[in-house]
Structure 1
Amino acid sequence: MTAITHHIPENLMIAYAAGNLPQAYALVAAAHISLCLECRTALEAHQAVGGVVLESAVACHVSAGLKSETLALLDAPARNEPVFRRAGVYPGPVMQALKGGPPRWKSLGLGVRQCILSESAQGSVRLLYIPPGQAVPDHGHNGLELTLVLQGSFSDDTGRFGTGDLEVADQMLEHTPVADPGAPCICLAATDAPLRFNSLVPRLLQPLFRI
């Protein structure tokens, strides 16, 4: 794997470590951390700081009923949930979202495909397959988009993003990502709002493709 040069920003890492990052973004963060030693180390540091804060916090008394219910939950038998490991280009967190199976691709045209992993009012996360040399239509963002490269690479006005790299796009960025020559680019992308396409045809197709 090539060196990872685009990482999780500090504010998002803090939110992820605290468990406050929305589910769609948390999946992308978990997948990146599984690939990136630097961000894994940063996460462990934030978790250690969080542990110190909890230990120094003032104790809060709770009712006897809440205490007994909490202890009962801790004593309950653990559910035998499967642990999904990496498969091909897909890290363990992505395989968990796929429930251990391969992506179920749907065509978006021009060889581009997507597989929606989850979708809610809080955001959506999907896999994107982009053939070499193919561009994603020029667009802006109505919210925050996190894009993690799992295979291949893509380039836009902000630079080149290879395997393991994370691009953070906000409302200030308008770009036309293009998959680089070589292997098809496979990305994991999370958004909390629809994209803002500049061309008419992508705008017309947007409700159908749920982008």
Structure 2
Amino acid sequence: MKIKHHMSDELLMAYAAAELPEAFNLVIAAHLSMCDECRARSMAFDALGGAVIEDSTCDMSAGSLETCLARIGAMSQTDAPLARRQDSVLPAPLMDYVGGGVDSVKWRPLGMGVRQAILRTGDKGASARLLYIPAGASMPDHGHNGLELTLVLQGAFRDEADRFARGDVEIADASVEHTPVAEAGEACICLVATQGSLKFTALLPRLAQPFFRI
């Protein structure tokens, strides 16, 4: 698997510093389980953060140790370096959210063969979902009210920016408007984390938006 589109340094540093919503952490963790290059960069940022803390001369506030230990205890085993448990589509970090492999996903139809499964996260203002786009089908043209990360798990799609295949991640923000189209031959399955709601250009998707929570 040759990955062409990677996580940015800014996102990996924010991930290492635990500054991102859970939805975005999930996409990054899934990508890291698939991408040796980004995983190495992420580990470097982790090491850098540890060195900064070690060299710091400031006093820790009361309860800092207990808070740190609680966070470590809350981490899933998939956060450990290179936990490789996965099925043919879903990487290990996703399997705990789904409750198994891709056959365990509880899809809900969006129309035109497109399906989604909203994943439960503790975020407000950010959401994570799996999208199933039939081969050759397209998502409605849309923009964004915030950051959107799209990780391809199966198949591939194209939009105005480039082609994205398994392991690739597309980073879109409020400046991006696009129409993703799944390539012919195989359905495209993606993990998507979105900050805020999408901005659809067509009337019908806008009317359906509150029901589909996108």
Same fold at TM > 0.5: yes
User: Which aligned runs of 4 or more in structure 1 are off by greater than 4 angstroms?
Assistant: 81-84
* Residues in 2 aligned to 1:126 and 1:74: alpha-carbon distance in whole angstroms: 30
TM-score, normalised to structure 1, is 0.89
* Residues in 2 aligned to 1:132 and 1:170: alpha-carbon distance in whole angstroms: 25
Instruction: Report what 2:125 is aligned to.
Output: 122
Deviation of the 1:74 alpha carbon: 5.5
Mark the CA change 1:55 to 1:209 in structure 2 (over 3 Å): closer, same or farther.
same
* Residues in 1 aligned to 2:14 and 2:185: alpha-carbon distance in whole angstroms: 35
Instruction: Report what 2:3 is aligned to.
Output: 4
Say yes or no: does 1:166 pair with 2:165. no
Match of 1:113 among 112, 115, 124: 115
* Residues in 2 aligned to 1:45 and 1:11: alpha-carbon distance in whole angstroms: 13
Partner of 1:158, secondary structure, is coil
Instruction: Report what 1:86 is aligned to.
Output: 86
Greater Cα radius of gyration, structure 1 or 2: 1
Mark the CA change 1:181 to 1:142 in structure 2 (over 3 Å): closer, same or farther.
same
Mark the CA change 1:105 to 1:42 in structure 2 (over 3 Å): closer, same or farther.
same
Please list the CA deviations of residues 71-105 of structure 1 after superposition, one character each: whole Å capped at 9, or x if unmatched.
9x959xx79x7769212200011101113361100
Please list the CA deviations of residues 93-149 of structure 1 after superposition, one character each: whole Å capped at 9, or x if unmatched.
110111336110000011100000025423100000000110100111111100000
Instruction: Report what 1:20 is aligned to.
Output: 19
Please list the CA deviations of residues 141-200 of structure 1 after superposition, one character each: whole Å capped at 9, or x if unmatched.
111100000000000010100000000011111111000012100000000111000000
Which 5+ residue runs of structure 1 have no aligned equivalent?
none
Say yes or no: does 1:136 pair with 2:139. yes
Aligned length: 203
Partner of 2:120, secondary structure, is strand
* Residues in 2 aligned to 1:200 and 1:4: alpha-carbon distance in whole angstroms: 36
% identical equivalent positions? 50
